[in-house]
Structure 1
Amino acid sequence: MAVPKKKTSKSKRDKRKATWKRKAALQAQKALSLGKAVLSGRSSFVYPTEEEEEEES
């Protein structure tokens, strides 16, 4: 016969949620930093430019 699961405590739930939000905030910060670097032209990130795309066509 099926038995109901035990309820997760609020502290466990909040801890998991905080970890998830911290990871998301860190990723957002990295993405914003990379975007700013690409726009300012001082990044070491390699990506195709419009000029290169036109030459290939």
Structure 2
Amino acid sequence: MAVPKKKTSKSKRDKRKATWKRKAALQAQRALSLGKSVLTGRSNSFYYPTDEDEEDDEE
């Protein structure tokens, strides 16, 4: 079975974990921002069907 030759230092481990958490926090912030802009109706980059579009399709 393969075994690592040297132990990874705590600083390398912590740095990797911090990077992973920072990426997750950034994605969560972007998702929240997009959700807020959709709710306020000011979103320019996100397309979704509105109630008016659904009523037009039914006729």
Classify the TM-score, shorter chain: 0.7 to 0.9
Number of matched pairs: 56
Percentage identity across paired residues of the two chains: 75
Report the TM-score, using the length of structure 2 for normalisation: 0.78
Q: Which residue of 1 aligns with 2:18?
A: 18
| Secondary structure at the counterpart of residue 16 of structure 2 | helix
Counterpart of 2:57, as a letter, is E
**TM-align CA RMSD:** 1.5
Structure 1 residue ranges, 4+ long, deviating more than 2 angstroms after superposition? 53-57
Q: Which sections of structure 1, spanning at least 5 residues, go unmatched? A: none
Structure 2: runs of 5 or more not aligned: none
Per-residue CA deviation, residues 4-55 of structure 1 (Å, 9 max, x unaligned), is: 2122111110000000000010110010000000001111121112332343
SS in 2 for 1:8: coil
Give the C-alpha shift of residue 3 in structure 1: 5.5
